[in-house]
Structure 1
């Protein structure tokens, strides 16, 4: 039960209540007295939660889930909590990303803004936002940052590339007239986080899947972030942290007050899963974040 609760971002007591009141509990019996959640059980709960995130009452959401996925006497084998997956947008080998990365690095070192912009456009168009980020953009930014760390001469190359990347990611983010999610995903960096570009890449990837997001690339103070979440009433909150020194798990308690229905996600290498509250799900990278947020909010690709 604990693993299913973490997958759904709710307390185990909530699952017990849904089982007792609405009949949305586990259906498979083990050899002992315990029951196990099966594939259909979890799918039913996820469907209920998507209805909750759209504003339905708990009773309405439970009724909707049972109507869409009626219970049967024999459920399939239990499903271990895993992230929803999508086919990779990247080629089978690293030849194309490596070639694009070399061209991007060469253009940046030459301080050729036009060439850098063209290389970024080519990478995003050829690979998609997430694969371009992980296979081309982030490696080049990391390499250039390490090359001139602690010195002034040459750092202008990194700054030039960073500005071009911001622009390319914003241009790759379509404005959605009719997003698939009724309530937005709030994407934000934790206070004092300096590595903010990943949230721009995530926003672009979600927009490409017609998932609407409210993006705050500039790190907000904790009290401002809490007010923003309260006023925006998002379906999900994703907080990005690259460094452990700024990844404060207490932020989630501040943004989840007033019994607001929002899924909470921690994304980035700065978070320690052992320190996160039980209702917060860790998303290890941007690809997993895009897949999981899409799955939780709308149930899959379309």
Structure 2
């Protein structure tokens, strides 16, 4: 009989209730300052990272190979036969490739490491769907086969107050980034089919950027009922207002609200407002 474990990493941004409901095993990334190392979402909060950015921009690192091996050994000891691992996208972090390397050394488990090609609740929504299928008794093969279609139904869009941190982290070109800041250009950033950042649209000013974000959501809801998650990074009031403006739309089948992980916050800086849209699927 199959016993399937579900694994993700701390950047999936699922809340504790969801993690407990689906018994999701979480591998934590790390945030590294000059004098101390922190574990993502364990001993440092997103707000603490934002508050300290003017003093120091920390580095981030993947879960260690040792952490991954220890988790797989633990699953073997607990009688798991299969594991489905859905981490942050391979185009955004080395976590996916490192997990594949670790998984290849555990022949006692049938392990699928699936590329979410996303981050934060874009990845989290896929993990939650997987958890629901496990809970409903779907087989390992059925679940693995369903994941590509589910992934294709999920999209992520976000805006930031400043391009400074994306420039520092190499996520956006220095010249175009500085030019955009001078003109107060606010790009709507999304993730393409290869799982890397791209500029979906450019508008001038935060107000117009929020209007564009709302337009993207409304266009999707006009064609498909969807689940929506509103995310913020050091922008609680803005995020909550955006959430309130959306929550009564009849084509939204589920709406959530939360903050992004400290690891992601290092690269975006404070003032992030984003949405994850998951079109309803027949899977």
Report if TM-score (shorter chain) is over 0.5: no
Structure possessing the higher relative contact order (Cα contacts under 8 Å, 6 or more residues apart): 2
TM-score (norm 1): 0.27
Structure (1/2) with the larger helix percentage: 1
TM-score (norm 2): 0.28
Structure (1/2) with the larger strand percentage: 2
